[in-house]
Structures are given as structure tokens and as C-alpha cells.
Amino acid sequence: MSEVANLGLGLVGCGTVGTGVVRILQSSPDLLTRQAGKRLTLRRIVVRDPGKVRDTDLSAWPVSTDLTSIISDPDIHAVIHLVGGIEPARSGIISLLQAGKDVITANKALLYSHGEELFSLAKSLGRTICFEAAVAGGIPIISAVNTALTANEIVSIEGILNGTSNFILSRMLDRRQTYEEVLQEAQARGYAEADPAMDVDGTDAAQKLVILTRLAFGTSVSLDSIVRQGIQHIELLDLIVAAELGYRIKLLAASRLSQGGLEVSVQPTLVRADRSVALTSGAANFVAIEGNAVGVLKLSGAGAGQLPTASAVLADVVDYATGRAALTFAAMLRMQDRTPIALQPQEELTRRQYLRFTVADQPHVLADIADILGRNGISISSVRQDETEDRGDDTGVARLVIMTHRTTEGRLRAADAEIAELRSLRGPRIRMPISD
């Protein structure tokens, strides 16, 4: 290849994803140079603890805790910022933008909470922020929405946006492992957030969905305004019962136009076992996106992990080097000026439901629950209770699974409030929508 210019890069954060970035830079320099039209030259690395033993050799670069070493290096044009959480990531990125550096980040928590602030600062400074890796790891969904689907009105986005929870749900069923065992394995594999509660309580998937909703529908929503539920109370029993009924349980994130409004939810959901989303297992993510012209596109692949996420980060770096990123970022900001779409009231969300109760094995318990559902206008589609031990007293516990016909979130909430008062309850109440 003839002589090419250098593009100087800084790296802040060299954990799971940062290490992947270093590995790809080391293993594929010629490919990246051809794609970028420039030699990608990593000049400095900043971490929290330079003394930490790492599984990749960083001796080729100055490694420090000092962000100003990057800020004051005039040969660094763009900074790959791979630190999680809000602070000091937010202030670090602000300092970098103010110093004239463009930024590539994978931090969805930060973009969820401060994306508008950072984007507007970047715009005012003539800088670019790239964030493909922030949603669905290695799957190019940001690029699909921001470039490939620009001739479409987006109708819906639905999918699995958290690798850790999908890994947990898949492994629990396939290997009959406990929730705690599988969560530890997901952490060891580098899928989970520093605080894995965000993976399992639906926060991480919801933050990603909010970012996609902003891009696809020009509408900002807060986590509090959407129906959000995690997987932490799901037991192996639920996964097995769902499988026996022909379903898989997936933490489904969905944002769709409905009756002129926007329905946004993140919930463990029973999906028919033969659907593509149900077949997405392990740490994989899945996104089905519907455009009014293109129809439904389905993308699936690694949603977390070192190299898949680094692949998305370096795609951003290449886009930055070629100048594509600046054009896309400017177009994305123009699209943010659309009139927002009102959220559908949560109470009006209408779906079939899976309800599971752990109750005293006593007379009239099933009748009480059926009565409450009936009085709230909820029609039962099936009831299942496995045979319990005949103890001759009232100390036994029964697990009751009820599938309902389509009903509204409002009716369910009202019924649930009444059921919560029953003295026969012996464990948490589980409820999940069914997506046939």
C-alpha cells in the first residue's frame, strides 16, 4: 500500500472491551489501514490502575491514570472511551470534547442519562460521538437505524438487548443450573456490567431500548415511564413449564407504534419456541426492526463480550477515519428534532399473560384467584397445577400456573393488588406477557 497518514488514537479504559480493541489493533493492522485509509496508531492508554496484571501486553504504550496525557497530546485526534458508569466517564468525555477530541464510547448507561447533554456539547464544538457498541454489542443496529434504514418510518423495534440475562435464561433451562451459578459464569466471561443488577433487573436492556427509541422515533422516554421488569425472580420451574407449553422465556425489549402512540416495555416474555427470537441463546442478542418500506429485518449475534464489542468499537473508529462518522452524527442530530410521539398509557398495554402463584395447598385457593381474575374482567385460557402430596393437613404448597386471554395491564394491576392480599400466598407472584 502507498504511504498513508496516521490517525492518532487514545484509549481510556482497558478492561474487557478495551483489551479487545487492543487485540484487534494488534492482530489486523493491515485490514484496518485499508478500511480506514489511514494507519490507526494507538498512542496512549489511561486506566484506573496501571499496576494491574492484564492478560494482554500493553508494554508498547505509555499507560497511566492521567487523562491530561491524552488531552494534551496534539497527535491524538479521537479517543476510544471504554469506562463504564456515569462519573468520571461523563466529565472525562466532556474534557476530551472540549480539548477538540472526537469520542468513541460503548457506555449506554451514560448515553441513556446524559446522551442529550453530550451530543449537544459535541454539536456545539463541531465534534463527533460514535456509539455503535453501546447497543447490542457486535450487532450493527445503530448503524442500521442511522444509515441503512433512513428511507423508512420505523414501525417497531423488538428484541433481546442484554446478553447476560439471555445467557442466564438459556443456561438455566439447557443445563438445569441455578440462577446464581449462571450469573457467576456470565460475570467470569465478561458479559455482565460492573454492577450485574443492571443486567438482571432490566435496566441495561431498558437503557439500550431508550437509546434506540430516541434514534428510531425521535422520542425521549425515561426508564420510569416504561413497563420494566427483570429476570431475577424467574425460577427454573417457570422456564420448564413455559417450555412444556411450547414457549421460551426471553427478556424482550420492545418499542412500537400502536394506535398513534408509542408502546415501550422491557419484560421477561413467553415467546413461541420456534420464533427466531426464542432460538437466540447464550449471550446473543436479537433485534427485529420493522420499517414501513423495507418490512422486518432481523439481526442476531453476540451482544456482549470482548471481541464482538471491540469489533463494533473499531467499526466506529474506521467510520471516523473515513469521515463517514461525522456525516452520520450530523444527520442523527437533525433527526432528533422530530416531534416526539406520546407514550401509550401503561394501563392500556394489552397482551396475554402467564401468571404463576405459590400458594397454600388448601381448599378454595384456586377459586379465590379465579374469582379475582374474573371480577377484573380477565379471562383464563389454561390452568395448570401439578399433583401435590396428600399430607392430610393444610401445610402443603402448590404451584399454580394460569395463562390468560388478552387483557390490559390496568386490569392485571388491579387484580394483582387484590391477589396480593390473599392469606394463602406462600411465595412471590410471577407474571409475564405472552407474545404468540
Task: Please report, as ranges, the residues that interact with ligand HSE according to CB under 6 A.
Answer: 137, 162-164, 191-193, 199, 204, 303-304
Q: 137 vs 159, which CB is nearer to ligand HSE? A: 137
Q: What minimum distance in Å lies between the beta carbon of 358 and ligand HSE?
A: 29
Residue 145 to residue 212: CA distance in whole angstroms: 8
Residues in CB range of 111: below 8 A, 6 or more apart: 105, 118, 131, 134, 207, 211
Q: Which does 328 bind (CB under 5 to 8 A by kind): ligand HSE, ligand NAP, none?
A: none
Q: 162 vs 269, which CB is nearer to ligand NAP? A: 162
Q: What minimum distance in Å lies between the beta carbon of 112 and ligand NAP?
A: 11
Q: Which does 199 bind (CB under 5 to 8 A by kind): ligand HSE, ligand NAP, none?
A: ligand HSE
Is 208 labeled as catalytic in the residue annotation?
Answer: yes
Helix axes 203-217, 108-125, angle to 10 degrees: 40
Q: 133 vs 231, which CB is nearer to ligand NAP? A: 133
Residues in CB range of 414: below 8 A, 6 or more apart: 376
Strand pairing report for 6-12 and 78-81: parallel
Q: 279 vs 327, which CB is nearer to ligand HSE? A: 279
Cα-Cα end-to-end distance for the chain: 54
Q: Phi, psi (5° rounding) for residue 423?
A: -75, -10
Element (H, E) at 92: helix 89-98
Q: What minimum distance in Å lies between the beta carbon of 273 and ligand NAP?
A: 27
Q: Which does 162 bind (CB under 5 to 8 A by kind): ligand NAP, ligand HSE, none?
A: ligand HSE
What's the grid cell of residue 430?
Answer: 410471577
Query: What sign does the CA torsion over 206, 208, 212, 218 have?
Result: positive
Q: Which residue's Cβ has the minimum distance to ligand NAP?
A: 15
Q: Which of 100, 105, 282 is nearest to 211 (CA)?
A: 105
**Residue 74: cis peptide before it, omega within 30 degrees of 0:** no
Amino acid at 285: N
CA distances for 284 relative to 209, 234, 279, 433, angstroms: 16, 19, 10, 22
Q: Which does 112 bind (CB under 5 to 8 A by kind): ligand NAP, ligand HSE, none?
A: none
Q: What minimum distance in Å lies between the beta carbon of 231 and ligand HSE?
A: 12
Residues that bind ligand NAP (CB under 6 A): 12-18, 46-49, 52, 82-84, 88, 106-108, 133, 137, 190-191, 193-194, 304-305, 309
Q: 138 vs 291, which CB is nearer to ligand NAP? A: 138
Q: Which does 164 bind (CB under 5 to 8 A by kind): ligand NAP, ligand HSE, none?
A: ligand HSE
Q: What minimum distance in Å lies between the beta carbon of 5 and ligand NAP?
A: 28
Amino acid at 75: D
- Rg of the chain, C-alpha, whole Å: 24
Q: Which does 15 bind (CB under 5 to 8 A by kind): ligand NAP, ligand HSE, none?
A: ligand NAP
Q: What minimum distance in Å lies between the beta carbon of 318 and ligand HSE?
A: 21
Residue 54 to residue 122: CA distance in whole angstroms: 33
Q: 7 vs 212, which CB is nearer to ligand HSE? A: 212
User: Which candidate in 38, 101, 108, 208 is catalytic?
Assistant: 208
Q: Which of 249, 312, 251 is nearest to 286 (CA)?
A: 251
- Residue 132 CB neighbour total at 10 angstroms: 28
Q: 265 vs 311, which CB is nearer to ligand NAP? A: 311
Q: Which does 18 bind (CB under 5 to 8 A by kind): ligand HSE, ligand NAP, none?
A: ligand NAP
Residue 196 to residue 377: CA distance in whole angstroms: 38
Q: Which does 48 bind (CB under 5 to 8 A by kind): ligand HSE, ligand NAP, none?
A: ligand NAP
Contact 314, 138 (CB under 8 A): no
Phi-psi map region of 152: left, alpha, beta (phi>0 left; psi -120 to 50 alpha): beta
Q: What minimum distance in Å lies between the beta carbon of 84 and ligand NAP?
A: 3
Q: What minimum distance in Å lies between the beta carbon of 256 and ligand NAP?
A: 24
Strand pairing report for 129-130 and 102-105: parallel
Q: 8 vs 10, which CB is nearer to ligand NAP? A: 10
Residue 127 to residue 139: CA distance in whole angstroms: 25
Residue 228 to residue 315: CA distance in whole angstroms: 31
Catalytic residues: 208
